[in-house]
Amino acid sequence: MDAPSNQPPPFQELDDDIIGDEEEAQFTDGSAGSYSDSSSDNAGATSYEKTVEKYNEETANLLSELRDTMETSRKDFVFACGGSITIAATPEATAGATAGDTTGDTPGDKEPADPSSPPVTLRWDPPDPLKPASKCKLDFPLPAGPEQPQPGVEGLVADMDKASFGLRGEDVFDETCRRAQKLDASQFSTNFCPYDVGIMDTITRVLVPSLGTDRTARAELYKLNVYEGASGFFRAHVDTPRSPSQFGSLVVCLPAQHSGGELEVRHNGKTMTFDWSSATTDSIQWAAFYSDCEHEVLEVRAGHRVTLTYNLYAVAASPNPARPTDLSFPLLQHMNTLLSNPSFMPSGGYLGFYSTHAYPHTSLNFSLASLKGIDTVIFQGFQSLGCGVCLRPVLKPSAEDEDFYTPTVGKYLPMREVRGEIGSSMVMELVLGYWGEDGIAFGDVEWLNEPQHLEMQLAYTVHGNQATTVAQYSWCAILVGVGGYDQESGERLRLETTFREEIFEGCNDEE
């Protein structure tokens, strides 16, 4: 991949008027200013000639091949998965259940067994404390016919509140953005458990794959929602992260008849649609997705779409150096071959990869546990192959500073440090403070792809903001330190991975 310059282009200015965050959502369509891709001129990559001059021709050729493999591999990574679970008539029939019907596979997936769940009971707190408990309970599957012993979904809806969303930190009710009812997790309970029916195993396998670091997904119940026909919907948005380790959201749709209400999830120009309207009345449908992906609930035309939503967090163990590198990913095989080649970056060097997903962080915390999709393979893969790897936020200057400051890879976290540090010569010391005293320049990184910021409106708070405890998304770059090739031993030198969550805290303390 040849390129006219080794400096990435200025990021396109974001509209200040970002809708977001009750705690809930950041809208992503035109009304909040679209974040379109202005970087398609391939300016993120280092030119072939410069690479030849700096390293050698073979390195330049090998990097071109690696870029091609990355581009091809990107399509293998899913950003959402889902399935269906039958509600068994008797609890005994559910023994040994696992979640099936996974939408989207990663290499090495096995077909799970047919899953089933016991009947699902939902109980809630009514606004009127005198309302009898028997009227505040629904059992799924819902009994058929008009003679129902329970109140029906209408009875639930009557006891719910209007769902809000956020606009610059404030709760907003605006039925042109969202029309739905909600109960908070503290206002209801259910015996449904996504762990018992194998959903969490599937999510871990598909959305939080592990190469060098074992990770598992954890779910936290968040809301009960009803989108009622006609015209319940939720406009395109990204979910505001509740902590740096949140990587996704899980939606579980309980069986209640409705039409419309498809969930659409988008990433990198692809859309996955989950249409649960024609599901049988004795099955539960579910979908999980990376919550930085834009998603939308289309209009419910009739009936009730009843959902439980969960926030998904990733929990990681420490990297395990004794664990053999999992070469089942073709991309990882390619990386391995590259590093074994004595002509590739013979004295070592730096690679950079703009993450395909955005990552949540606070001013003190950034979680490597929440790595997503191909970013995981790049990060954990290079790490397990003995390279030094770190994840850094990529920052953009505000409109008035655009001519003076360049987009850059931050040394720490973006919120406080940036203003004094970005720009011309200062960029030099920004990038990799922890790989020796010298640091490296932005342009010294061999960039493997272009900045990825296609479809999402992000709440950057780069300039002049106080540190905040609310997690925000940033685009990141994965920086890879490649050790030199030791001709004598016939091995590439291994580098320490120096980027850990605790280092961030140390960095901030020193400020």
Binding residues for Fe ion (CB under 5 A):
239
Query: Does position 333 bind ligand AKG by CB under 6 A?
Result: no
Tokens of 291: 């919550």
Residue nearest to ligand AKG (CB): 263
Query: Does position 26 bind ligand AKG by CB under 6 A?
Result: no
DSSP alpha helices (H): ranges in 35-91?
48-54, 57-74
- Three-state SS string over 108-141 comes to CCCCCCCCEECCEEEEECCCCCCCCHHHCEEEEC
Least distance from C-beta 90 to ligand AKG, angstroms? 29
199 binds, among Fe ion, ligand AKG, none (CB under 5 to 8 A by kind): none
Least distance from C-beta 287 to ligand AKG, angstroms? 7
Query: Does position 234 bind ligand AKG by CB under 6 A?
Result: yes
Task: Look up residue 277 and give its DSSP letter.
Answer: T
- Between 181 and 384, CB nearer to ligand AKG: 181
Query: Does position 188 bind ligand AKG by CB under 6 A?
Result: no
Considering only residues 459-498, where is the footprint of ligand AKG by CB under 6 A? none
Query: Does position 235 bind ligand AKG by CB under 6 A?
Result: no
- Between 239 and 450, CB nearer to ligand AKG: 239
Query: Does position 297 bind ligand AKG by CB under 6 A?
Result: yes
**CB proximity list for 299: less than 8 A, separation 6 or greater:** 230, 231, 232, 233, 260, 261
46 binds, among Fe ion, ligand AKG, none (CB under 5 to 8 A by kind): none
- Between 24 and 417, CB nearer to ligand AKG: 24
- Between 270 and 494, CB nearer to ligand AKG: 270
- Between 239 and 446, CB nearer to Fe ion: 239
- Between 263 and 482, CB nearer to ligand AKG: 263
- Name which of 460, 471, 462 is nearest 244 in CA terms: 471
- Between 275 and 282, CB nearer to ligand AKG: 275
307 binds, among ligand AKG, Fe ion, none (CB under 5 to 8 A by kind): ligand AKG
How far, CA to CA in Å, does 511 sit from each of 18, 422, 432, 505?
30, 16, 16, 10
Query: Does position 239 bind ligand AKG by CB under 6 A?
Result: yes
- Is 330 within 8 Å of 74 (Cβ atoms)? no
Q: At what angle do helices 57-74 and 330-340 cross, to 10 degrees?
A: 170
* CA-angle at 301, arms to 295 and 306, nearest 5°: 65
Do the bridges between strand 161-162 and strand 80-87 make them parallel or antiparallel, or are there none, so unpaired?
Answer: unpaired
- Quote the CA–CA distance of 177 and 231 in Å, as a whole number: 11
Query: Does position 344 bind ligand AKG by CB under 6 A?
Result: no
- Name which of 110, 101, 11 is nearest 394 in CA terms: 11
- Between 24 and 450, CB nearer to ligand AKG: 24
**CB proximity list for 372: less than 8 A, separation 6 or greater:** 79, 207, 247, 290, 292, 356, 357
297 binds, among Fe ion, ligand AKG, none (CB under 5 to 8 A by kind): ligand AKG
- Between 165 and 329, CB nearer to ligand AKG: 165
Least distance from C-beta 291 to ligand AKG, angstroms? 8
- Quote the CA–CA distance of 222 and 218 in Å, as a whole number: 13
Query: Does position 309 bind ligand AKG by CB under 6 A?
Result: yes
Query: Does position 120 bind ligand AKG by CB under 6 A?
Result: no
Least distance from C-beta 252 to ligand AKG, angstroms? 9
- Between 21 and 239, CB nearer to Fe ion: 239
How far, CA to CA in Å, does 202 sit from each of 102, 113, 197, 310, 319?
7, 11, 10, 15, 22
329 binds, among ligand AKG, Fe ion, none (CB under 5 to 8 A by kind): none
- Quote the CA–CA distance of 338 and 334 in Å, as a whole number: 6
Least distance from C-beta 239 to Fe ion, angstroms? 4
Kindly tell me which residue out of 263, 300, 351, 427 binds ligand AKG, with binding defined by CB under 6 A. Answer: 263
- Between 73 and 225, CB nearer to ligand AKG: 225
Q: What is the DSSP string of 176-242?
A: TTEE-EEEEGGGEEES--TTTTTHHHHHHHHHS--SSS-EEEEEEEEEEEEEETTTEEEEEEEEPPS
Least distance from C-beta 249 to Fe ion, angstroms? 6
Query: Does position 306 bind ligand AKG by CB under 6 A?
Result: no
Tokens of 337: 């071959």
Query: Does position 447 bind ligand AKG by CB under 6 A?
Result: no
189 binds, among ligand AKG, Fe ion, none (CB under 5 to 8 A by kind): none
Query: Does position 21 bind ligand AKG by CB under 6 A?
Result: no
Query: Does position 265 bind ligand AKG by CB under 6 A?
Result: no
Least distance from C-beta 77 to ligand AKG, angstroms? 21
- Quote the CA–CA distance of 157 and 153 in Å, as a whole number: 6
Query: Does position 295 bind ligand AKG by CB under 6 A?
Result: yes
- Is 138 within 8 Å of 173 (Cβ atoms)? no
- Is 297 within 8 Å of 228 (Cβ atoms)? no
- Between 239 and 455, CB nearer to Fe ion: 239
Least distance from C-beta 240 to Fe ion, angstroms? 9
263 binds, among Fe ion, ligand AKG, none (CB under 5 to 8 A by kind): ligand AKG
Q: 171-175 — which CB contacts under 8 Å span 24+ positions?
A: 171/22, 172/22
How far, CA to CA in Å, does 93 sit from each of 9, 96, 100, 311?
59, 9, 16, 29
- Could you list the residues that contact ligand AKG (CB under 6 A)? 24-25, 225, 234, 239, 251, 263, 295, 297, 307, 309
